[in-house]
């Protein structure tokens, strides 16, 4: 493959890598004189026409995206049996390689990478494109720290082929969203969950769920709670942990509404930290520190002559005063030791599971375990008002007494303004609604004179009305314009192009299934027969199939046409028109003197009609056949 020229333009230089679906090469664009990345489908997929069609469709859709955090797609092509995509060449490494080298990334670097991923995804989601396979392998990082997301749409295509032993799926399952693991509908919030997993791995050095098989890992995404990242890396602040765990919520309605919202939280966190200040706890939070205690103030030594007279006399400290001072110092030291010991040796307790409990009951349970709490309210369409949706840390985690447990409490379903999605493509409309936590249902397809096929014709509830968050918005989708009945014209005896034009005039299409047969009645290339026959009723846009003559065609016949010009002193224009199986044509046209008489030989095929016009007046014809 090295040295091969694709599309007479892209010269393969070296192989960069490969996955379960494609091989990746570095190439030179000889037209624009730049380096590019070429991704080629593996041969085993090129025989699947549906897969190839989706591969090209996804690539063409992504080619419309333009964002600094998305790898640009330049071209899509085919060379023989080789199908390929030409993309921007990124000088750098993928995020998986960086994690393998560093194990745990500095939290500020990890948060910045996640922010850039979210900003790229927000642009894609706004254009109706879901990535479906966010993982460190598909995140490229330049030496300057610029993040580039690549391989959009691969997961959707992978679902249409057999991938039982694919390394791609085994690797991807660690980043699946719960709905993806269940085989359900994937939307923008599936990508957000995967970003949360990637950020979790960057700061902890491990994925949140491991298992012996892909199915075991998928089940953990559905059922298990991740170990809070702050327990695996003390440098993860509570604020960053809250961002990660919100992105990884099992219930998609409890995740960030959009990737842009998550990016803003990460940006805000960085801004609050300030330049050069991470605000994250040191790895050893109990390292040696300065403790408050007695402060000894010393004065500069002076000459005794400089002291006032009343202080020159040396005084002796009384024994009782000495004893009091020693007692006070020992007491302070004992108190400090007791406080330090109490600080360092707080008993551990197991966090109780208070999910689905009334908030007041949950508070009582936590207090009985010597735990403190705070409450975050969140709209939820499924959990009753004042009941706990989720909690942080997760149930059964071990923490110190007096540790604060955050309770996410339902404030009821909440109301949201329904966006206007009429005339939008169905997938783009679905993303707009799901981003606001609405469910989407396609009620039916219907014809529309105004809305193109595949776009939304109407919605219930209507745009700009309020509806309960989590409720279903019904959409009707256009099938295009309503076909109307038309009568099939007679195109027998016409040329192919004339037949096509006649059918288009009737709002019908000429079928590409064109055959030929021998005919002694019709000349070569003209229509011998049509299906359906003339006067049949069809719908607008239906096809008509024709059969053409391949000869030898009819024998030519000749008629001698006698013409007499009026003797009125004027010149007259003469035209002879022939109608036969070849169609209508002008056989003769010229001016003649008054009183002139002449005979003109006219050729026709099979049977026909000859008409003579003198100054555009149809005249009787006297003719005789010539053998």
Specify whether the CB–CB gap between 12 and 30 falls below 8 A. Answer: no
Write down which residue in 410, 436, 461 finishes a domain: 410
Tokens representing 237 are: 């602040």
Cα distances (angstroms) measured from residue 45 to each of 86, 353, 483: 18, 48, 38
177 and 261 belong to one structural domain: yes
Model confidence, pTM? 0.50
Write down which residue in 34, 59, 89 finishes a domain: 89
CATH, residue 458: 3.30.10.20
Neighbours of 426 (CB within 10 A): 17
389 and 473 belong to one structural domain: no
Q: How many domains does the chain have?
A: 6
- By residue range, what is the domain housing residue 269? 90-273
Please give the angle made by the CA atoms of 256, 262 and 276, to the nearest 5 degrees.
Answer: 150
169 and 245 belong to one structural domain: yes
Sign of CA dihedral 224, 228, 231, 236: positive
Per residue in 124-155, pLDDT (tens digit) is 998 888 888 899 999 999 988 899 998 875 54
113 and 255 belong to one structural domain: yes
Among this protein's residues, is 133 annotated catalytic?
yes
- 55: in domain: no
Query: In the block, which residue shows the tokens 């919030």?
Result: 189
When pLDDT is averaged across residues 243-254 and rounded to a whole number, the result is: 93
Per residue in 51-61, pLDDT (tens digit) is 787 777 767 77
Query: Which position among 29, 75, 133, 380 bears the catalytic label?
Result: 133
440 and 490 belong to one structural domain: no
- 250: in domain: yes
241 and 109 belong to one structural domain: yes
Pairing label, strands 82-88, 73-79 = antiparallel
Distance CA 505, CA 536 (A): 16
CATH, residue 75: 3.30.200.20
- The confidence score (pLDDT) of residue 55 equals 75
- The confidence score (pLDDT) of residue 326 equals 67
DSSP-derived secondary structure letter, 607: S
- 197: in domain: yes
Distance CA 77, CA 80 (A): 10
Write down which residue in 426, 458, 478 finishes a domain: 478
Neighbours of 591 (CB within 10 A): 10
Distance CA 519, CA 466 (A): 70
111 and 169 belong to one structural domain: yes
Per residue in 481-521, pLDDT (tens digit) is 888 899 999 999 899 999 999 999 999 999 999 999 999 88
- 191: in domain: yes
What are phi and psi for residue 157, nearest 5 degrees? -70, -35
When pLDDT is averaged across residues 270-297 and rounded to a whole number, the result is: 42
Distance CA 164, CA 14 (A): 29
DSSP-derived 3-state class of residue 460: strand
Count CA atoms within 13 Å of residue 531 on its CB side: 8
- The confidence score (pLDDT) of residue 89 equals 92
Q: Which range among 21-25, 191-195, 262-266, 542-546 shows the weakest confidence by mean pLDDT?
A: 21-25
- The residue ranking higher by pLDDT, 625 or 534, is 534
Sign of CA dihedral 157, 161, 167, 173: positive
110 and 197 belong to one structural domain: yes
Give the whole-number percent of the chain exceeding pLDDT 90. Answer: 51
Specify whether the CB–CB gap between 526 and 548 falls below 8 A. Answer: yes
- The confidence score (pLDDT) of residue 294 equals 36
- The confidence score (pLDDT) of residue 291 equals 33
397 and 462 belong to one structural domain: no
Distance CA 283, CA 106 (A): 12
* pLDDT > 60? residue 319: yes
- The confidence score (pLDDT) of residue 441 equals 94
- 342: in domain: no
Tokens representing 611 are: 């008409």
117 and 141 belong to one structural domain: yes
146 and 268 belong to one structural domain: yes
Confidence of residue 312 (pLDDT cuts 50, 70, 90): very low
406 and 523 belong to one structural domain: no
DSSP-derived 3-state class of residue 610: strand
Q: Which range among 357-371, 449-463, 560-574, 602-616 shows the weakest confidence by mean pLDDT?
A: 602-616
What's the chain's Rg over C-alpha atoms? 42
């Amino acid at each position: 493959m090295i040295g091969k020229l694709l599309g007479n333009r892209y010269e393969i230089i070296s192989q960069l890598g490969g996955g379960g679906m494609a091989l990746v090469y570095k190439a030179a664009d000889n037209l624009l004189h730049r380096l590019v990345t070429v991704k080629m489908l593996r041969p085993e997929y090129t025989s699947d026409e549906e897969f190839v069609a989706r591969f090209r469709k996804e690539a063409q859709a992504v080619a419309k995206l333009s964002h600094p955090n998305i790898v640009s797609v330049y071209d899509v092509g085919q060379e023989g049996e080789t199908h390929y995509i030409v993309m921007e060449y990124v000088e750098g490494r993928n995020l998986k390689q960086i994690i393998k080298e560093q194990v745990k990334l500095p939290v500020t670097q990890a948060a910045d990478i996640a922010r850039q991923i979210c900003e790229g995804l927000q642009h894609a989601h706004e254009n109706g494109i879901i990535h479906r396979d966010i993982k460190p392998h598909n995140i490229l990082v330049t030496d300057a720290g610029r993040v580039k997301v690549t391989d959009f749409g691969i997961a959707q295509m992978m679902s249409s082929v057999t991938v039982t032993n694919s390394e791609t799926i085994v690797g991807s399952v660690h980043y699946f969203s719960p709905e993806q693991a269940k085989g359900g509908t994937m939307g923008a919030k599936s990508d957000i969950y995967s970003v949360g997993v990637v950020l979790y791995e960057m700061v902890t050095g491990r994925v949140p769920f491991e298992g012996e098989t892909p199915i075991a890992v998928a089940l953990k995404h559905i059922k298990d709670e991740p170990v809070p990242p702050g327990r695996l890396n003390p440098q993860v602040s509570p604020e960053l942990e809250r961002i990660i765990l919100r992105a990884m919520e099992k219930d998609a309605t409890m995740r960030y509404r959009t990737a842009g919202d998550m990016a803003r939280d990460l940006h805000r966190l960085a801004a609050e930290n300030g330049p050069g200040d991470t605000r994250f706890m040191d790895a050893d939070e109990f390292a040696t520190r300065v403790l408050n205690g007695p402060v000894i103030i010393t004065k500069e030594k002076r000459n005794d002559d400089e002291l006032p007279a009343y202080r020159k006399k040396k005084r002796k400290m009384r024994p009782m005063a000495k004893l009091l001072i020693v007692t006070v110092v020992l007491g302070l030291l004992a108190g400090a030791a007791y406080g330090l010991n109490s600080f360092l040796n707080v008993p551990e307790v197991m966090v109780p599971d208070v999910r689905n409990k009334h908030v007041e009951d949950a508070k009582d349970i936590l207090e009985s375990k010597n735990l403190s709490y705070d409450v975050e309210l969140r709209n939820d369409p499924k959990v009753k008002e004042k009941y706990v949706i989720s909690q942080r840390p997760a149930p059964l985690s071990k923490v110190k007494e007096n540790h604060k447990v955050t309770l996410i409490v339902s404030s009821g379903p909440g109301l949201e303004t329904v966006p206007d999605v009429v005339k939008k493509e169905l997938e783009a409309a679905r993303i707009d609604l799901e981003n606001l936590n609405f469910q989407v249902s396609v009620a039916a397809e219907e014809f529309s004179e105004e809305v193109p096929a595949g776009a939304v014709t109407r919605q219930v509830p209507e745009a700009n009305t309020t509806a309960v968050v989590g409720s279903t918005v019904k959409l009707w989708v256009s099938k295009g314009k309503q076909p109307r009945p038309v009568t099939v014209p007679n195109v027998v005896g016409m040329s192919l192009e004339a037949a096509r034009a006649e059918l288009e005039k009737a709002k019908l299409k000429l079928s590409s299934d064109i055959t030929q047969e021998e005919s002694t009645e019709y000349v070569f290339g003209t229509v011998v027969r049509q299906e359906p026959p003339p006067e049949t009723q069809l719908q607008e846009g239906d096809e008509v199939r024709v059969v053409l003559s391949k000869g030898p065609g009819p024998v030519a016949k000749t008629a001698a046409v006698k013409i007499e010009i009026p003797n009125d002193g004027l010149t007259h224009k003469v035209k002879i028109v022939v109608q036969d199986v070849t169609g209508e044509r002008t056989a003769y046209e010229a001016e003649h003197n008054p009183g002139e008489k002449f005979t003109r030989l006219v050729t026709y095929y099979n049977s026909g009609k000859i008409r003579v016009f003198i100054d555009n007046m149809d005249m009787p014809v006297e003719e005789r056949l010539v053998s």
